[in-house]
Amino acid sequence: MTQMRKIETTDLIEATPAPRPPQRRVLLLQGHPSRFWRDLGDGLKASGATVFKVHLCLADRVFWHRRGGQSYRGRFSDWPAWLESFIKAQGITDILYYADRFPYHVAARAVADRLGIAAWVIEFGYLRPDWITFEPGGMNAYSTFDRHPDALTARAAQAQEPDLVTRYAHPFRTEAVNEVLFGLLAVFGRPLYPRYRSDLIYWPVLDYLSWIPKLLLSARADRRARQIEDRLVSESAAYFLLPMQIEADYQIRDNSPYASLEDFVNEVICRFAHHAAPEARLVIKLHPLDSGLENWAARCRRMARAWGLSHRIDILRGGDLATLLKHAQGVVLVNSTVGLHALRLRVPVMVCGAAIYDIPGLTHQGSMASFFTAPDPVSPDLLSIFLRALSTLQVKGSFFSPEGRRAAIAEIVARLQPAALSDQVISASRQRWRTNMAAPTVNRLAPTSKGNEIVT
């Protein structure tokens, strides 16, 4: 079972600012599979920063598409020592990476912490769809974001109301092509990078081939999903929504107490069957980027039969998420950003993993059983404060849209300028992370279903 780390809410720690060089010397590790990383490198160089790039696999090298860069072809066990030597030799001030739980990046953050330099994660935004996360170190369970009410209020007071109007496109075709190209280059570039340790749990070729039947049947599946959706709305049905995540997602693998996504779904179905009102339904919406390799629809139906819930469950591949959220009694999830969408609609949310928005006053703080009977309401005032505070970890933009890339990169470059960086805050963030990693795990809800037996 993957163990969660507790996100502490310690206050900012006073730290003596250390002298910083006048310009940044930035190391880029593995980036997002798009043009974003190369454009970010260009933007940093234009600002006066010195940029270094380390390639871990052929995909890194091809997507960088710039001269320079250094390939690391050593063993993963030797990576921390090699990286530390590289950082010292080049005088690196900042490390940037995409996907904070990628093993090479986990090691890089530890090295950065030991050497006292800044590490930054760039990821899809907590706020969706056209925001990008730019956060010190890591996300969710590994975030240094201080969620104490006083800290949130102080941070929110210095931030503007976030622009939640969608302004930049997120084309699925572009995302899919880039993902496939990156994955295939990493696989077939193995002779050039024989010791590269991939973090994928499925062989990419098999994963991509499994999309073919899904794409062929997607129109029919979406029509069926919208018919069920229309029926739920027209009948004013009482239902709870379970938005599925992806088995391979690090939010499941490393920010969750569950050994697998199936364990989570099984627990939800079990608790719902035993505690929800008899007239209530459970709606499971499959993730739009799920390839179909796991056949979650069949697995969910099998679990529903085991718990006697077949007549009260709907499984959707498609449909409109906003409509489903708007009419739901509540949303139960591991830690998906769908939770933030639900909160913005004032829909109660139950978080079963580690999520940055899992705060008393925003999400349900009791058991799953109590959530299905009397979910905690959302505090509008706290939500407003939280969203403003959270926006300080976000930049408006997109990995895929040219305009969105330009907007996001300009903001990231501005935030990396020496005048914009606070050594005191960076040092305090690093100290909070050390505290979090040393703290014992505290889970409000541990998985309790074992087969068809309920453990109380």
Candidates 388, 252, 229; CA nearest to 333 is: 252
Both tokens of 218, joined, read 């997607």
Q: Give the pLDDT of residue 145.
A: 95
DSSP 8-state code for residue 318: S
Provide the strand spans (E) within 246-348. 281-285, 313-316, 330-333
For residue 196, pLDDT over 60 is answered with yes
Q: Give the pLDDT of residue 424.
A: 43
Q: Give the pLDDT of residue 247.
A: 85
Q: Is residue 53 part of a domain?
A: no
Q: Is residue 364 part of a domain?
A: yes
- Tell me the CA distances in angstroms from 158 to 152, 385, 392, one per residue in order: 10, 11, 9
Q: How many helices and strands, by DSSP H and E, does the chain display?
A: 17, 14
With beta carbons less than 8 A apart as the criterion, state whether 81 and 16 touch: no
Both tokens of 268, joined, read 């939800």
Both tokens of 432, joined, read 């909070």
Q: Is residue 240 part of a domain?
A: yes
Q: Is residue 167 part of a domain?
A: no
For residue 449, pLDDT over 80 is answered with no
Tell if the pTM clears 0.75, that is, is over it. Answer: yes
Query: What is the average pLDDT across 335-352?
Result: 97
For residue 309, pLDDT over 80 is answered with yes
pLDDT band per the 50, 70, 90 thresholds, residue 209: confident
Q: Is residue 7 part of a domain?
A: no
**Number of compact structural domains in the chain:** 1
Q: Is residue 194 part of a domain?
A: no
Look-up of token digits 């029509």:
223
Candidates 391, 428, 432; CA nearest to 164 is: 391
For residue 399, pLDDT over 60 is answered with yes
Query: What is the average pLDDT across 217-222?
Result: 90
Strands 330-333 and 349-351 come out as: parallel
pLDDT band per the 50, 70, 90 thresholds, residue 420: low
Provide the strand spans (E) within 211-312. 239-243, 281-285
Query: What is the average pLDDT across 419-436?
Result: 50
> Which residues form the domain of 313?
221-386+446-454
Q: Give the pLDDT of residue 419.
A: 58
Q: Give the pLDDT of residue 289.
A: 87
Distance CA 4, CA 180 (A): 31
> Per-residue pLDDT tens for 85-128?
999 999 999 999 999 999 999 999 999 999 999 999 999 999 98
Q: Is residue 284 part of a domain?
A: yes
Distance CA 318, CA 230 (A): 13
Strands 281-285 and 239-243 come out as: parallel
Q: Give the pLDDT of residue 417.
A: 86
For residue 343, pLDDT over 90 is answered with yes
Is the C-alpha dihedral spanning 345, 363, 7, 455 positive or negative? negative
> Per-residue pLDDT tens for 253-303?
888 899 899 999 999 999 999 999 999 999 999 999 888 888 999 999 999
Distance CA 317, CA 329 (A): 20
| Average pLDDT for the chain | 88
For residue 223, pLDDT over 80 is answered with yes
Distance CA 337, CA 205 (A): 28
* Phi, psi at 111, each rounded to 5°: -65, -45
For residue 439, pLDDT over 50 is answered with no
Q: Is residue 306 part of a domain?
A: yes
> Per-residue pLDDT tens for 42-88?
999 999 999 999 999 999 999 998 988 999 999 999 999 999 999 99
Distance CA 84, CA 112 (A): 8
Q: Kindly give the residue spans of alpha helices, DSSP state H, lying in 328-379.
A: 338-344, 368-371
Candidates 106, 82, 167, 83; CA nearest to 131 is: 167
> What's the CATH number where 330 sits?
3.40.50
Q: How many residues does the chain have?
A: 456
